[in-house]
Structure 1
Amino acid sequence: MKAIWNGVTIAESDDIVTLEGNHYFPRESLKDQYTTFSNHRSSCVWKGQAQWLSLFVNGDMKPDAVWFYPEPTDAAKEIKGRVAFMPGVEITE
């Protein structure tokens, strides 16, 4: 599968975990040259504390477009080391 934003593939992998309709890619599949810092944080009762990244591609910024759980709960351990994407990032097979 591929994650595409602003005409650029920002992640690609055959190792995808789908949880609550979101496709979680391995963290190492995310191309770091297209990510930038975000200080946004969020919390999920059953998954834990999420951290976010923004995307910067071809001069355009998509704030808080990528999230991950650095230390997910035991119930969500399958997404440790994985990233998912906000709507607007196209996920294709």
Structure 2
Amino acid sequence: MKAVLTDGTVVAEAPKDDLISIEGNWYFPPASVDATLLEESPTQYHCPWKGDTQYFSVKAGDDLLQDRAWSYPAPIPTSFERVGEDYTGYVAFWKDVQVVE
């Protein structure tokens, strides 16, 4: 599967079996993400069952798409049971980044 910007730039790519689906979002393994296209964001969010989120803005040419990706760098350990596996550092995407097969 791929996470793709509207201009065709691939932000992440991995076999579907390597991705994790959580609440309708596909999470890509850290090694499958082009980190040169991500910029850490100061935006903070705390999920009551997953923990603290690290948001990223996605570079799209000369534009910076604010908070279009996120990760859980240190998830709450009990969430692994609910998800079914460890998703530490996996990255999911939002608006302007389409996940396709």
The normalised TM-score by structure 1 is 0.92
Contact 1:6–1:58, Cα closer than 8 Å, also in 2: no
**What does residue range 3-14 of structure 1 map to in structure 2 within 5 Å?**
3-7=3-7, 8-14=9-15
- Among candidates 12, 19, 24, match of residue 21 of structure 1: 24
Determine the structure 2 residue equivalent to 1:2: 2
Question: Cα distance, 1:38 vs. partner?
Answer: 0.8
**What does residue range 1-93 of structure 1 map to in structure 2 within 5 Å?**
1-7=1-7, 8-14=9-15, 15-77=18-80, 78-93=86-101
Matched to 1:9, the amino acid is V
Q: How many residues align?
A: 93
The answer for unaligned runs of 5 or more in structure 2 is 81-85
The answer for unaligned runs of 5 or more in structure 1 is none
Question: Cα distance, 1:57 vs. partner?
Answer: 1.8
Matched to 1:88, the amino acid is D
**Match of 1:18, SS?**
strand
Higher strand share: 1
Distance in 2 between residues matched to 1:76 and 1:57, nearest whole Å: 32
Identical columns (%):
34
Deviations 1:14-51 (A, max 9, x none): 11100100000001111011111211110100000101
